[in-house]
Amino acid sequence: MKMHFVFICSCGTQVIENNRDPTGISSNKISVYGFRMFFTATAKDLSAKKCVPCNTKDLRAMTEETASKLIPKVDGWNLANEGGTLKLKRSWKVKSFTKGLEMFQLISDIAEAEGHHPDLHLVGWNNVTVEIWTHAVGGLTENDFILAAKINTLDLHHLLRKKVSA
């Protein structure tokens, strides 16, 4: 769905529309005298969005440059390039093995609601790592950043190990 907002100022007419570009990133596009400028979403904007189905015809893997612009919007997550496949990764230390499983359940509830499923790893008894990428396109899409932002909204403090102070 496109939403159009028209602003008229003394310098001319500007049209702002909410669009999804071929890289799979929703953006606000401003057209002024034939020039286009894009504004990326904030973390709050990302967590408010809904993932699009991965079989969407226009969904394409984004470039590393585009991913680098979005990574600051998802605190704690890192970009990883594994054999040419860009992924989002984040790790946590949990209090116990069962707390790791509880964390997986919280993440899986969000993933299932979004129809976008990360790879979940519990290594050792307390090391949780989550990897997110869009398998269908072999790389990152906006869906991955949406899911990471939603995971960031979870209250995980009761599951995580407290840092030992020196």
8-46: pLDDT as tens digits: 333 332 333 334 444 444 444 333 333 333 334 555 688
Q: Above pLDDT 70, what percent of the chain?
A: 71
CA distance 124 to 92: 12
Mean pLDDT (the chain, rounded): 78
Q: Per-residue pLDDT tens for 69-105?
A: 999 999 999 999 999 999 999 999 999 999 999 999 9
Distance, C-alpha 31 to centroid of its chain: 26
User: Could you give all domains of the chain from N- to C-terminal order, each with its CATH number?
Assistant: 68-159 (3.30.1360.20)
Spatial CB neighbours of 47, under 8 Å, sequence gap ≥ 6: 146, 149, 150, 152, 153
What single DSSP character describes residue 118?
Answer: -
CA distance 85 to 137: 10
Tell me the three-class secondary structure of 32-75, residue by residue: ECCEEEEECCCHHHHHHCCCCCCCCCCCCCCCHHHHHHHHHHCC
Q: What is the pLDDT of residue 37?
A: 30
